[in-house]
Amino acid sequence: MNSSTFSRIIRYSRPYWWRIAISTLASIAVGSMDGAFAYLVEPLLKKIFATRDLTIFTLLPATVFLIFCIRAVCRFLNDYFIRTAGELAVQEIRNDVYRNSMRLGLRFYHGQTTGGLMSRILNDVAVMQNGIANVVTSVCRDGFSAISLLAVIFFRNWRLALITFLVIPVTIIFAQKIGKRIKRLSTESQEKMGDVAAILQETFSGIKVVKSFGLEQWEVDRFKEQTRSYYHFVRKNIKYNSLSSPIAELITAFGISSVIWIGGNMVLHGSMTSAEFFSFLTAMALVYKPVKSLNGSYNTIQTSAGAATRIFEIIDEKPELIDAPDAVEMVRSKGDVTFSQVSFSYGEDAVLKDISLQAKSGEIVALVGPSGSGKTTLVSLLSRFYDVASGAIRIDGLDIRNIRMESLVRQIALVDQEITLFNDTLANNIRYGNFAATDGEVEAAARAAFAHDFIAALPEGYATNIGDRGVRLSGGQRQRICIARAILKDAPILILDEATSALDTESEQTVQKALNNLMTNRTTFVIAHRLSTILHAHKILVLDGGRIVEQGAHAGLLEQGGLYKRLCEMQFKDV
């Protein structure tokens, strides 16, 4: 984990410093006890076996038990406080990832998969959390344990200690080489997990389509292929993790064998007492365990570093659309909208070219044209989901780029062809248009949307939970809830993006009545698939190839005999 990534994690952990402090002190206590235990072996052995001090022998078992009791309490404090601190820090990181992702524009989301984003917020953060816990737990507890034991080793016999000490750098160098590969593989495997999550999200949300086409097995095979690809990276990660411990043990075994041979000869030749040698061996045997643990923790930290890189990419992503320094607050607009020579492109593909139009307060402006002509993009620019490439869009004479985005959003309500409802009650789904609304205002909006009757007929009425994406409602009912939501928002500008295109005739008639209530006294932009719904629009704009090729009222456009007339003839020829 590089220093910048580590320092950022520390910043998130700073508010919980007292938890980390308790954990650190407990870690130091555990590590120091290991050194103390190894050091006391030599004087205890002398007193028990050399001087035959039976008092020490009697107290020894109780003392050892007491030491390990204290050690157990310190270990608990260490683990508990560092893990709770890590969980709280990770909670803040997860909140920041989600908060920043909510601030990013639609262009960012078009370059991401839903499953990939979910994987970063859920899976990557969990992997990083494990690394955060290991930083303090391992570095403090195992680090102090290793240091205190090395002190005992050097104090007992510095010559033998050098043999022991030389083995440790070899282990660390090996761990670093393994760790770099683990970090790279971890990043790649997390990306593959994002692909797995994307398939889950797509199939579960589109399960009706999957089943209607009988493609369950095809989706299963696709999922198996993706999990196999994920396993390919995880297998390499497992291989390197599994290699690190045995190789470290082989290096350790070489050090222990050398010490036993040389130290044993020193005892036999009288240059070292047997008690000192046993004390040395105890410390040496104990020191390799924390070193081995540090080696494993280093691998864990590298894995979490790969996850942290992906997480901070989202946090560091800059919003494409921000308020201008001199942006103004718009309380409530009159609803006058002007497009002045507006052009827009996705990358190098020009979508809108030199669009100019004017919608006065209360007017209904219909947008028609072939698929891909730029209708949805045009209204998306009004909502400032994207910024224009050239030209300007004005509301009441103010360029929308000079209006605070929060207040701009309040001026516009959207009823989309893609019905979006949440796994919540009907009341809360309607209240999404205005969370400050009273129950009476929610009901009034539902009545205006012709939704009250079917809501009241439900066993729990407005408190009915409608399930994921509103699956317990019909298409017409779902659309009327969205209309009620827009009515409750009470915005002066309304966008209807093919709001009835997916409905049957009966449902369309009911929804159209609700839309008529919604459009009253509002400037309305209607993207119409069914031209019968826009016959009474004040102005109809015909788009083709990103340009306005015709505009006028229904009768006048028919007289022109252009694209609009051809579209009408194709749609009404069988009627």
> Which domain range does residue 259 map to?
3-316
In a domain, 331, yes or no: no
Residue range 438-488, pLDDT digits in tens: 999 999 988 888 888 889 988 888 898 887 666 678 778 888 888 888 888
Distances (CA, A) of 256 to 153, 267, 287, 441: 13, 16, 11, 79
Say if residue 64 is in the same domain as residue 113: yes
Over pLDDT 90: what percentage of the chain? Answer: 6
Say if residue 263 is in the same domain as residue 355: no
pLDDT of residue 102 exceeding 90, the answer is no
Residue range 280-296, pLDDT digits in tens: 777 776 776 676 676 66
**What is the number of domains present in the chain?**
2
Q: Domain holding 377: CATH number?
A: 3.40.50.300
Q: Do 337 and 393 meet the contact criterion of CB atoms below 8 Å apart?
A: yes
Residue 575 confidence class, pLDDT cut points 50, 70, 90? very low
In a domain, 96, yes or no: yes
Q: Domain holding 120: CATH number?
A: 1.20.1560.10
Span between the terminal Cα atoms of the chain, in Å: 68
**Residue 537: which region, alpha, beta or left (left: phi > 0; alpha: psi -120 to 50)?**
beta
Sign of CA dihedral 508, 514, 516, 519: negative
Q: Which helix (H) or strand (E) holds 552?
A: strand 547-552
Say if residue 390 is in the same domain as residue 285: no
Find, among 565, 566, 493, 502, the residue nearest to 530 by Cα: 502
Residues 206-227 have a mean pLDDT of 73
How far apart are the C-alpha atoms of 267 and 317, rounded to whole Å?
A: 65
Which residues lie below 8 Å from residue 457, measured CB to CB, with a gap of 6+?
A: none
Say if residue 543 is in the same domain as residue 503: yes
Find, among 140, 130, 49, 37, the residue nearest to 89 by Cα: 130
Residues 70-80 have a mean pLDDT of 82
In a domain, 329, yes or no: no
* CA 276 to chain CA centroid, nearest Å: 56
How far apart are the C-alpha atoms of 38 and 145, rounded to whole Å?
A: 11
Say if residue 346 is in the same domain as residue 298: no
SS (H, E, C) 193-238: HHHHHHHHHHHHHCHHHHHHCCCHHHHHHHHHHHHHHHHHHHHHHH
Say if residue 302 is in the same domain as residue 410: no
Distances (CA, A) of 394 to 14, 359, 402, 408, 538: 46, 10, 9, 11, 20
Structure tokens at 106: 């639609």
Residues 56-78 have a mean pLDDT of 75
How far apart are the C-alpha atoms of 107 and 122, rounded to whole Å?
A: 23
How far apart are the C-alpha atoms of 55 and 51, rounded to whole Å?
A: 11
In a domain, 322, yes or no: no
Q: Do 123 and 197 meet the contact criterion of CB atoms below 8 Å apart?
A: yes
Over pLDDT 70: what percentage of the chain? Answer: 72
Q: Which helix (H) or strand (E) holds 255?
A: helix 216-268
Say if residue 291 is in the same domain as residue 411: no
Among residues 256, 284, 316, the one where a domain terminates is 316
Say if residue 346 is in the same domain as residue 306: no
In a domain, 325, yes or no: no
Say if residue 110 is in the same domain as residue 236: yes
Say if residue 287 is in the same domain as residue 356: no
Q: What is the mean pLDDT of the chain?
A: 77
Say if residue 344 is in the same domain as residue 312: no
Say if residue 358 is in the same domain as residue 302: no
Residue 180 confidence class, pLDDT cut points 50, 70, 90? low
Q: What is the pTM of this model?
A: 0.69
pLDDT of residue 60: 65
User: CB-based burial of residue 119 (10 Å sphere; 0-12 exposed, 13-18 middle, 19+ buried)?
Assistant: buried
In a domain, 326, yes or no: no
Residue 341 confidence class, pLDDT cut points 50, 70, 90? very high
DSSP at 475: H
Residue range 374-433, pLDDT digits in tens: 888 899 899 888 888 899 999 999 999 999 988 998 898 888 877 778 878 889 889 888
